[in-house]
Structure 1
Amino acid sequence: MNQETVTAPGEPTARTAHFRTMFPTTAHGAHTARHAAERWLAARQERPEPDDDTTATASLLIAELTANATLHGRVRGRNARLTLTLTPATLRIEVTDARGERLPAPTPAADADGDDESGRGLLLVVSLADAWGCEPYPPGGKTVWAECARRAGR
């Protein structure tokens, strides 16, 4: 975890903060990573606004993306990575796992019994995030990301 200053030519200085942690692709590993990220975000809130639900939204997005990595991205002996990038305007959440062939799809895919809930959690990500996507992570993984704008009264 570190903080750095990013300055574009002719632009005011903007603070960008980064959080990164590796976690085992287990329910406990995802839980631990989520709580560490929530504590990190809380420590960076300069003055919480009463109507600012960015932290609550971020918590839900982090929970869903880390849970998906444990359910759909697990490879024995390989960890997943949670990365947060916080700027004055945006929070970007990235979860990288080792299963590049299993790409997310935000639609329910029912099995023959109609019991499969695959894809339903991503519907939450689609509805809460301002943007989301999936990128390959060579040599064989993927990074699923979501962004939410930092603003009061989303």
Structure 2
Amino acid sequence: MNQETVTAPGEPTVVAGHFRTMFPTTARGAHTARQAAERWLAAQRGWPDPDDDSAATASLLIAELTANAALHGRVKGRDARLALTLTPTILRIEVTDARGDRLPATPPNADVDGESGRGLLLVASLADAWGYEPYPPGGKTVWAECSRT
């Protein structure tokens, strides 16, 4: 993996198998963060494996987690963060937002008949593992991991 660091203003930060970018909690912000992450993943040696669906899975997980942050994690004046960690066996996706008071409804408790909740069912079905944790002083990080096959 590359040992380079990208530090141009407004650009994602990349250090040896790690990607991180801040994004506004808007639909456009989530979309822009997903596109930057997909470009970074495409540039990684050995990723994606042309014989599996790992790139599509990663893209769906990134899209869902960033969209959730934009929809449910919005705090005026505060951005969210998308971070990826790529190891030889696992891709870990983390999205941190400022709304620690709005925790994800974990399936099967998600309100799939309402206007939300289906996205985390998708995350639960695609990810090898997922969860959330507090991000002090008042935010949360929702994460998902998928294996590199």
For the criterion TM > 0.5, the same-fold answer is yes
Query: Does the 8 Å CA contact 1:95/1:143 hold for their aligned counterparts?
Result: yes
Provide the aligned length of Structure 1 versus Structure 2.
Answer: 135
C-alpha distance in 2 between matches for 1:66 and 1:26 = 9
After TM superposition, what 4+ stretches of structure 1 lie above 4 angstroms from structure 2?
Answer: none
Choose 98-107 or 123-132, whichever is displaced more: 98-107
Which has the greater radius of gyration?
A: 1
Matched, 1:61 2:61: yes
- What are the equivalent positions in structure 2 for 1:29-108 lying under 5 Å apart? 29-46=29-46, 48-105=48-105, 106=107, 107-108=109-110
C-alpha distance in 2 between matches for 1:146 and 1:47 = 17
Q: Give unpaired runs (5+ residues) of structure 1.
A: 5-16
Query: Does the 8 Å CA contact 1:54/1:150 hold for their aligned counterparts?
Result: yes
Query: Does the 8 Å CA contact 2:42/2:48 hold for their aligned counterparts?
Result: no
What is the aligned partner in structure 2 of residue 9 from structure 1?
none
What is the aligned partner in structure 2 of residue 12 from structure 1?
none
Shift of 1:51: 2.0
TM-score, normalised via structure 2 length: 0.85
Matched, 1:3 2:19: no
Shift of 1:125: 0.1
Q: Percent identity over the alignment? A: 77
Query: Does the 8 Å CA contact 1:108/1:117 hold for their aligned counterparts?
Result: no
Shift of 1:52: 1.8
Superposition RMSD in Å = 1.5
Shift of 1:48: 4.7
Query: Does the 8 Å CA contact 2:48/2:54 hold for their aligned counterparts?
Result: no
C-alpha distance in 2 between matches for 1:31 and 1:93 = 15
The 3-state SS of whatever aligns with 2:93 is strand
C-alpha distance in 2 between matches for 1:3 and 1:77 = 27
